[in-house]
A and B are shown apart, each in its own frame.
Chain A
Amino acid sequence: MDQNDRRPGAELVPVTLVVNGETRRLEIEPAVTLLDLLRERLHLTGTKKGCDQGQCGACTVLVDGRRVNACLQLAVMRDGCDVVTIEGLGTPDDLHPMQAAFVARDAFQCGYCTPGQICSAVALVAEGQARTPDEIRELMSGNLCRCGAYSNIAAAIGDVMAGAAGAKEAAE
């Protein structure tokens, strides 16, 4: 399928994004969100659409290392940015530590909020603001999970934080 929009309508705008390490040049209508660009143009459907209005967090991706709701970003706003999606974190045979921790803790059920939870959790650890389980819960509250896997998600994040702290101590 053509990644670019060659249809009558609004003027097309060139956008360049580095997605999971790969430079992608596209021509799109200005109204295309980052979420729809990922899902419908690049077929990176790991980034989920739960509400399309910034209320659920299922579309969380990392833009220049920060967690953002991809549904609230027009892709043209992020021209030149570095985007990491769930597909860029790890593969089934080579899981990112956060992905492995989610599997080990059974931190998901239906799996639909999971990529957003994991991207958000990876950024949370990098932000270094959450030190206690309560702080993890507070700072993860932008990511809803209707299956109610919250306590397992918090445990998985705690495992990764403990592992990261252990690794840091060992290095020092």
Chain B
Amino acid sequence: MNDVLAYVGRPQPRVDGPLKVTGRARYAAEVAVEGMAYGAVASSAIARGRIRSLHLAAAKAAPGVIAVLSHERDPGLPDEDDPYLKDMGAVPGSPFRPFCDDRIHFSGQPIALVIADSHEHARDAAALITADYDAETPQVDLMAAKAAAYVPPEPRSGIPPPPPPRGDAQAAFAAAPVRLQEDYRVAAEHHNPMETMATTVVWEGDGRLAIHTKTQGVNNPKTYVCAVFGLDPDAVRVISPFVGGAFGMALRPHYDLLLATLAALTLKRSVRLTLTRQQMYTMGWRPDTLHTVALSASEDGRLTSIRHAAVQATSRYEDYQEPTVNWSGLLYACPNVTLSYELAKLDTSTPSDMRAPGAALGLYALEAAMDELASRLKIDPLELRLRNYAERDFNEDKPFSSKELKACYRQGAERFGWDRRRPEPRSMRDGSELVGLGMATGCWEAMMQPHAARATLDAEGRLEVACGTADIGTGAYTILSQIAAEALGLPIERVTAKLGDTTLPKAPVEGGSWGAASAGSAVQAACAALKEKLLAQARGMNGAFANAAIAHARFTADGVALASDPAATVAYADLVRAAGGDGIAAETEFEPDEEFTKKYASYTHSAVFAEVRVDEELGVIRVARLVSAVAAGRILNPATARSQILGGAVMGLGMALHEETVWDATLGRIMNANLGEYHIPSHADAPDIEVIFVDEDDRANPLGVKGLGEIGIVGVAAAIANAVFHATGRRVRHLPITLDKLL
């Protein structure tokens, strides 16, 4: 008897796939509303200073314009920080408050909002808005701002500051036979999800709002607008079933949400505000970061000291922070470690989390330095890592909940063919191309957050699972459907997952790779609770179930049966009818096991191998192949999981070779705020990528899941940079490695 449908662990095609490939999935700016008005934002032309006067008359007189809002006529927004700090993603400092005064904090800051009867009228009128400014000289150069770097006085909530020093790194360095100290830098990046920020506020009358907005978690924008505008939470619903990419950018609410809501409340009508691609460069970015890494080792390659100091950009008004250097105390067994992390203020918008915040940067620097050390020691780079393998988290002095990084190294190296790498740089070629092989390690913390979920079975035997989390492209709809289908023994076609709505059981923002472990565990618990309810109902309906415990019951497509007597089955339809409602529902809340997390450190790991080809004469760099071997606990869906790793690898390739936000040092304006001049990897740049998931048994949550959103990018840039060195013999320590740096 094997009637259990196994879904978890299988490459189930995305359940939302047919909607997405037919254009039926509706995103935030795609909700059609009767009588809707359109917004367009006019942006500041300077990066720092004050608005002396705004010229709004031409816009007000333009065809179709309904209203123009700005700081000039007090729009009635609160004057203090407190309501804006209700943003769950707020960082220490004073959050940006559009239209609160005449002060300009960054280039492209919104200075006015046009509301018109059509998209074209709003856009055209916004283009007529000009301003006179008292401009001040902006500082957008981190190298210059570094002189005033400081340790952030208040740590950002949830982001651990560097651990205290262990041992004496300086003395160990001075005494070591092999020493290395280098500076590294990673250029600023912007997330550039394909969908721009957008909010459609539907005015439902009586002050009730339905807000469709791009977000990684509907509860955050709801809390935020209710606090800022003093709205009754019962009158506000936030809906975001589909998110056109986010990568961290939609963790915090942005000014599209605030201004669209302001306009809807002011005009008492529905309003849509979509930001332009250029305006996507006026918020949230991966901060420009300067690293100094000093390593020392014995002749046989045992690390005797690690020092890693980072200076990271933040805005003038907030102390955004990332866990950038902490990884350098975690990845290797080393008795003497000193880590430091400082911020430097720029006249830009505040940076924000972008895929593997901190780790993607810090581990680039550490893993590039490890490659240099291997080269200095004449030890194979992979062998050097194995000689310093950490069996314990020395930052927190805890054992790992699981760590199969050695298997990643072994399986990745084998698949990649690492053994054919010749040790000397510039020693491998193929025709006119220099060939380079490089590798690096990746690491990300396996986190969890409290999530609630509900499971409801209806009389037709259809199961709905609901959770207020988001599917930003990760595959959450699919894995939650798989978990639910398997729990209830139903074909997956009879399961619907509902996400992205504040009317659903509460979940925090979807980020940090905690979604699968947390929402998945919540859905699993809700299904378990539902099964108990169904069994209790069955006990009252069929004597054979009178003494049946959950272990004696079988849940199948037809109903609840007894394991010992499959003929004794109570159909779901009968259960639901007998219960006297439309369905039987169970709601539970998942809480991470604090005892476990106190005892164990939990991380995902990866080993990334890259092959690059460099045209010897032209310096053109191409990544020919990537292999990423990942240890991330149990894999719920190998297809969507693989896609997460592919996506991270491609973004890491962009970090290594292409992506760089460039500011004009005098004007403080971004010079490449578009997808033509800010190059994200394209089809032609994307190599063959092989993904390996190594077996890893982890107990941090009932599913054994660690999360995959971040780990795919970590280590990729270092592996590619190390391969470029191996190909060319040139060590470029400033990403992206554009060809001019090789010539």
Contact = CB atoms under 8 A, between A and B. Distances in A.
A148 B243 contact: no
A21 to B, nearest CB: 15
Interface stretch (B79-87, B219-227, B426-434, B639-647): B639-647
Contacts of A140: 683
Interface string A101-128: 0111010111111110010000000000
B24 interface: yes
Contact of A146 (B11, B247, B689): B247
A53 B674 contact: yes
Contact of A106 (B13, B26, B191, B243): B13
B293 interface: no
B64 A109 contact: no
B119 A40 contact: yes
B23 A44 contact: yes
B680 interface: yes
Interface stretch (B105-113, B168-176, B472-480, B582-590): B472-480
Nearest to B712: A148
Nearest to A102: B21
A8 B19 CA distance: 38
Contact of B683 (A32, A46, A87, A150): A150
B192 interface: yes
Interface in B185-223: 191-196
Interface string B672-690: 0011100011111011110
Contacts of B30: 39, 45
Nearest to A86: B23
Contact of B643 (A10, A99, A106, A136): A106
Interface stretch (B400-408, B436-444, B648-656, B660-668): B648-656
A120 to B, nearest CB: 10
B475 A109 contact: yes
A10 B27 contact: no
A141 B682 contact: yes
B628 to A, nearest CB: 12
B194 A146 contact: yes
A100 B22 CA distance: 10
Given A50-B277, A52-B277, A148-B648, A92 B689 contact: no
A112 B194 contact: yes
A151 interface: yes
A108 B63 contact: no
Main secondary structure of the interface of B (DSSP, over half): loop
Given A45-B23, A95-B18, A144-B194, A7 B63 contact: yes
Interface residues of B, number: 71
Nearest to B35: A1
A31 B118 CA distance: 12
A18 to B, nearest CB: 18
Q: Which of B192, B642, B646, B686 has the most CB of A within 10 A?
A: B686
A168 to B, nearest CB: 24
Contacts of A48: 27, 194-195, 244
B675 A1 contact: no
A141 B686 CA distance: 10
Q: Which of B23, B639, B648, B689 has the most CB of A within 10 A?
A: B23
A49 B245 contact: no
A109 B648 CA distance: 12
B120 interface: yes
Main secondary structure of the interface of A (DSSP, over half): loop
B21 A108 contact: yes
Contact of B674 (A10, A47, A51, A111): A51
Given A53-B674, A110-B195, A149-B647, A92 B680 contact: no
Nearest to A91: B22
B16 interface: yes
A104 B19 CA distance: 14
A152 interface: yes
Contacts of B644: 109
Contact of B244 (A53, A87, A111): A111
B18 A103 contact: yes
Contacts of A49: 29, 196, 274
28 contacts: A5-B118, A8-B63, A31-B124, A51-B277, A52-B276, A53-B676, A55-B674, A86-B21, A86-B22, A95-B22, A99-B18, A103-B13, A110-B242, A110-B246, A110-B473, A111-B473, A113-B194, A137-B686, A141-B682, A143-B683, A144-B194, A144-B680, A145-B683, A146-B247, A148-B647, A149-B643, A150-B683, A153-B683
Interface of B: 11, 13-14, 16-27, 29-30, 32, 34-36, 63-64, 117-121, 124, 191-196, 242-247, 274, 276-277, 472-475, 639-640, 642-644, 646-651, 674-676, 680-684, 686-689
Closest 9 CB pairs of A and B: A46-B23, A148-B650, A112-B244, A9-B63, A110-B473, A111-B20, A109-B473, A150-B686, A86-B23
Given A1-B34, A8-B63, A102-B21, 15 more contacts: A51-B277, A58-B194, A92-B22, A106-B643, A108-B21, A110-B193, A111-B19, A111-B25, A111-B244, A137-B686, A144-B675, A144-B680, A148-B681, A151-B646, A151-B688
